[in-house]
Amino acid sequence: MLDTLTQSDLFLTILGTSRDVIPIILILLGFQFLVIRRRVTNLKRIIIGFIYVLIGLSLFLLGLEKALFPLGKVMAEQLTDPVFIIGSQATDATRLHWSDYGWVYLFAFAVGFSTTIAEPSLIAVAIKASEVSAGAISVWGLRIAVALGVAIGITLGVYRIVVGAPIHYFIISGYIVVVIQTFFAPKTITALAYDSGGVTTSTVTVPLVAALGLGLAETIPGRSPLIDGFGLIAFASLFPIMTVMGYAQLVQWVTTRRRRQSDNNGQDTQADTPSMEQR
C-alpha cells in the first residue's frame, strides 16, 4: 500500500498547492511592504498558520486523489451504465424513462450533500459568519442548509441531463425564485446567502460532480458529453442561495413564534422583532 503513495506524490502535491498559493502570497507581501509599509502584528504566527494551511490542503488533496476520487468516479460510471440501470437483460438505453434512474438521483443527492459538508472553504465561511453574527447563524445550521441546497441542485441538474432540457430555463427560473425570496428573507442573510452559492463548489465537489455529469452524458443517447456534461456546477451554485435564505426564514419564524408564546405567558409585550434582525 505504501508503494502507491510514494514520497514523490506528496512532494508533487505540495508543489502544486504551493504554485496556487504563491500568487496570493506575492500579492499580500507586495501590498504589505510597498503600500501599507507597517509591521504586521504576530507575523510569526501568521506564517506558521500559512504553512499549516499549505500542509493541510496538500494532504487533503492527496488523500482525495489517492482514495476517494478514483472510487467515486468508478461508482459514477457504474451507476450510469445502462446495464446496471435496466438490469442485465437489455442494453438498449433508448427506451429508458427518466424515472428509471432512481439510484442515480439518490447518488447525486448524497454526493452533493456529503461533499459539501466536507468542503473546507464552506467551513471557513461558516466560521466567519457565526463569529460576525455572534452565533445567531450557527456553523452547522449554515453548512447543512448549503449542503441541502447543493444536493437538491445536483439532483435537479442530473434530471436535466436525463431529460435533455435546456439549462437556461432552469437557471432563469432559479433566478426568479431567488429575487422573489430576497424580498421576504431577513435582510441580514442576503449577502451571506448570495456568497454561499460561490463557495460550495471547489476542491471536493467539482471532480466528483464532473465525473457524474460526463458519465451520464456519455450513457444517455442523444446527449453530447461536451455540451450536456457541463452545467451541474451551475445548479450546485444556485440552489444553496435559496436554501440559505430558507434557513434564515425558518430561524426567524421559530424565534418569532417562541417569542409570541413567551409573550402570551408573561405580560411583556415587546415588538416581535426576531433575534436575527436585532443583531
Which residues 203-242 are close enough to bind another protein by CB under 8 A? 203, 206, 226-234, 236-237
Cβ 77 vs Cβ 104: under 8 Å: no
- 15's grid cell: 508543489
- Region from 71-79, 86-94, 251-259, 264-272 binding another protein, contact rule CB under 8 A: 71-79
- Region from 86-94, 121-129, 254-262, 267-275 binding another protein, contact rule CB under 8 A: 121-129
Q: Considering the rule CB under 8 A, would residue 145 count as an interface residue with another protein?
A: no
**Helix orientation angle between 205-219 and 69-80, rounded to the nearest 10 degrees:** 20
Burial bucket for residue 119 (CB in 10 Å: 0-12, 13-18, 19+): buried
b (16+ CB within 10 A) / e for 135-169: ebbbbebbbbbbbbbbbbbbbbbbbbbbeeeebee
For 91, phi and psi rounded to 5 degrees?
Answer: -125, 15
Residue with Cβ nearer another protein (201 or 255): 201
- Region from 29-37, 89-97, 249-257, 258-266 binding another protein, contact rule CB under 8 A: 29-37
Q: Considering the rule CB under 8 A, would residue 172 count as an interface residue with another protein?
A: yes
- 144: helix, coil or strand? helix
Residue with Cβ nearer another protein (9 or 263): 9
Write down the residue that cell numbers 450513457 correspond to: 219
Distance CA 76, CA 229 (A): 13
Q: CB of 209: closest distance to another protein in angstroms? A: 10
Among 11, 12, 33, 128, contact with another protein (rule: CB under 8 A)? 128
Q: Considering the rule CB under 8 A, would residue 111 count as an interface residue with another protein?
A: yes
Q: Considering the rule CB under 8 A, would residue 27 count as an interface residue with another protein?
A: yes
Q: Considering the rule CB under 8 A, would residue 18 count as an interface residue with another protein?
A: no
Write down the residue that cell numbers 433508448 correspond to: 94
Torsion of CA 174, 180, 186, 188, to 10 degrees: 60
| Residue 93 per-residue DSSP state | G
Q: Considering the rule CB under 8 A, would residue 200 count as an interface residue with another protein?
A: yes
Q: CB of 265: closest distance to another protein in angstroms? A: 31
Among 14, 75, 86, 93, contact with another protein (rule: CB under 8 A)? 75
Cβ 142 vs Cβ 206: under 8 Å: no
Residue with Cβ nearer another protein (38 or 267): 38
Q: Considering the rule CB under 8 A, would residue 254 count as an interface residue with another protein?
A: no
Q: How many CA atoms lie within 13 A of 107 on its CB side?
A: 22
Enumerate residues 6+ apart whose C-beta is below 8 A from 64: 203, 204, 207
Among 11, 33, 98, 175, contact with another protein (rule: CB under 8 A)? 175
Q: CB of 92: closest distance to another protein in angstroms? A: 22
Q: Considering the rule CB under 8 A, would residue 66 count as an interface residue with another protein?
A: yes
Among 86, 93, 96, 167, contact with another protein (rule: CB under 8 A)? 167
- Region from 92-100, 127-135, 252-260, 264-272 binding another protein, contact rule CB under 8 A: 127-135
